[in-house]
Structure 1
Amino acid sequence: MQHLTVLGTGVLGSQIIFQSAYMGKDVVAYDINDEILAKLPERWEYLKDAYRRDLADATDEKLDAAVARIRATADLADAMKDADIVIEAVPERLDIKQQTWEAVAAVAPADTIFATNSSTLLPSDIAPFTGRPEKFLALHFANEVWKFNVGEVMGHEGTDPEVFEAVAAFAAEIGMVPVRIHKEQPGYVLNSLLVPFLDAAAQLFVKGIASPEDIDNTWRIATGAPSGPFQIFDVVGMMTPYYLNASSDDPIKREFAEIIKRDYIDKGYLGKGSGRGFYEYK
């Protein structure tokens, strides 16, 4: 599968785009308007710096070649016309993902494989909206995909086993370590472990038990981990925890979402990729 289309150019979507192009794929970056797409060159420069810092083989020539393999468009039909595989990375809301896949199904070639990068939603809840449930599954990436390079592959009961293996092979081709998930599980392996950890940190913060800095320091010092939970929130970006918590039945989670929106999102502090989240980054 040489031709990839990525739906959504946010924090993780842009990383999937750049990583796939870096590994030699031809990538179409789709988003809903040209104003969003106009910001991508700045994002590519940010990712180039990250690759130079973290990867020994990241030469200027290789990075420039990656950017040259990326084409941006706000025309969905144009984005789909040559796609062998589509990866969706739109906001983490079931209704948005369902509506997105309905629109994609109307214009995508019949043999195109569909994959969602959803962090928490089940493929079976989205599959009926794709028009081709047998060719639909999840391919989930961790943030900073060039460095934390797991690719969790999770189908649903109707996913064709050959499609499942083809997507696992594609994940390996773009530099991921494929992790085959044998049954549907909200959060896969990674987020099944990570989300309760982040939720515990958010509760400590909302209840006024300790500051984000002290919570992070405690975790790093006591366990030897390189990052604390609020540093991880900054890498993930503020929009994902906001969407995950804003409609929760838990009042503590809703309050955390309100804090994130009021004190961070509304001020443009969207996480590490924007230069500021719980911490400031140069």
Structure 2
Amino acid sequence: MILTNTTVLGTGVLGAQIIFQTAYHGLPVVGYDITEQALEAANHRLDSLVQTYADYFDAGDRSKAQAARDSIRLSMDLADAVKDADFVIEAVPESLDIKQGTYEALAAVAPERTVFATNSSTLLPSAIAPHTGRPEKFLALHYANHVWQNNTGEIMGTALTGSEAYEAVVDFAERTGLVAIRVLKEQPGYLLNSLLVPFLQAASHLLVNGVADAPTIDKTWKLGTGAPKGPFEIYDIVGLNTAYNISSMGDETSKKFAALLKSEYIEKGKLGAATGEGFYKYN
């Protein structure tokens, strides 16, 4: 089983990166989202990634990155987006209800051969598998933000995932420039987010409990550990919508952080580095 024709559901910050990473490594890819506004934003994200990839891989030569950009197709029609798909990567908002509904709609229109993978950051694939219509061809493939540089691909199946589909996704990850990380059993957050999410949560609790402000927390972490970025700088990179969705499902303090994100940042259009402002301002 070779996975070639790829569709990515969700064209947000990470979805757009997954689309571009796949196209840059020579595979046909379609990006799907549900509104014209989302696709317009996706076009801007994809355009901006041309120079990012040119600088990172090709010493500023835009030719290969531009060819990748030109090969990408976007669609608001789910059946159209997946009609030729060997592989569908889902990167919709981090809500179990949204993901389950997405897979129910997807199962009705995708070819029988198509393998599905969720990019969920924190949800277990076994909570989604019954809604896919093909649990033996469903698993998780988790990308890290800034995928061209932080190129881990965490691959995690369920008890029902077939070995053929699993190995095909390992092969896909390697062919698209990722280091395939085999996660041997289901774990919320895989490896990376099992480490990262508690760290970010601890920082958010310090903030909402009034222990220190975001810049002080970041400065303390960077000075004390030598880390290049603090937790709130990482929140801005991840995107505050993602932080909100994850925090909304947490304990009471996490929910207070989610409320803070919504009222002080998200509702004001401050979604993180991708929009030019989150906890910090960006050029």
- The alpha-carbon deviation at position 39 of structure 1 amounts to 2.3
What is the TM-score normalised by the length of structure 1?
A: 0.97
1:272 has 2:261 as partner: no
Contact 1:19 1:145 in 2 (8 A): yes
Aligned partner of 1:30 among 29, 32, 56: 32
* Aligned residue in 2 for 1:262: 263
Structure 1 segments of 4+ aligned residues over 3 angstroms from their partners: 52-58
1:217 has 2:219 as partner: yes
The answer to which of 215-224 and 185-194 deviates more is 215-224
1:7 has 2:13 as partner: no
Matches of 1:123 and 1:57, distance apart in 2: 39
Contact 2:137 2:162 in 1 (8 A): yes
The count of aligned residue pairs is 281
What's the secondary structure of 1:152's corresponding residue?
strand
* Aligned residue in 2 for 1:134: 136
How far does the alpha carbon of each residue in 1:90-136 deviate from its partner, in whole angstroms, 9 at most, with x for none?
00011100000000000000000000000011111101100000000
Query: Partner amino acid for 2:257?
Result: F
- The alpha-carbon deviation at position 217 of structure 1 amounts to 1.0
The within-5 A match list for 1:139-218 is: 139-218=141-220
Matches of 2:261 and 2:61, distance apart in 1: 37
Query: Partner amino acid for 1:27?
Result: V
How far does the alpha carbon of each residue in 1:146-189 deviate from its partner, in whole angstroms, 9 at most, with x for none?
11000000000000011111101100111100000000000000
What's the secondary structure of 2:128's corresponding residue?
helix
1:85 has 2:87 as partner: yes
Aligned partner of 2:70 among 54, 63, 68: 68
Aligned partner of 2:115 among 94, 100, 113: 113
CA RMSD, 1 decimal: 1.1
- The alpha-carbon deviation at position 35 of structure 1 amounts to 2.5
Contact 1:113 1:135 in 2 (8 A): yes
* Aligned residue in 1 for 2:42: 40
Matches of 1:89 and 1:26, distance apart in 2: 17
Matches of 1:261 and 1:198, distance apart in 2: 17
What's the secondary structure of 2:109's corresponding residue?
coil
How far does the alpha carbon of each residue in 1:24-48 deviate from its partner, in whole angstroms, 9 at most, with x for none?
1111000012222122221123222
Contact 2:153 2:173 in 1 (8 A): yes
Contact 2:13 2:45 in 1 (8 A): no
Matches of 1:57 and 1:112, distance apart in 2: 36
Matches of 2:23 and 2:166, distance apart in 1: 22
- The alpha-carbon deviation at position 208 of structure 1 amounts to 1.2
Contact 2:51 2:62 in 1 (8 A): no
Structure 1 residue runs of 5 or longer lacking an equivalent are none
What's the secondary structure of 1:114's corresponding residue?
strand
What is the TM-score normalised by the length of structure 2?
A: 0.97
- The alpha-carbon deviation at position 63 of structure 1 amounts to 1.2
Identity between Structure 1 and Structure 2 (%): 56
Contact 1:34 1:73 in 2 (8 A): no
Structure 2 residue runs of 5 or longer lacking an equivalent are none
Query: Partner amino acid for 2:15?
Result: G
* Aligned residue in 2 for 1:253: 254
| CA pair 57-128 structure 1, distance change in 2 beyond 3 A | farther
Matches of 1:112 and 1:272, distance apart in 2: 34
- The alpha-carbon deviation at position 261 of structure 1 amounts to 0.5
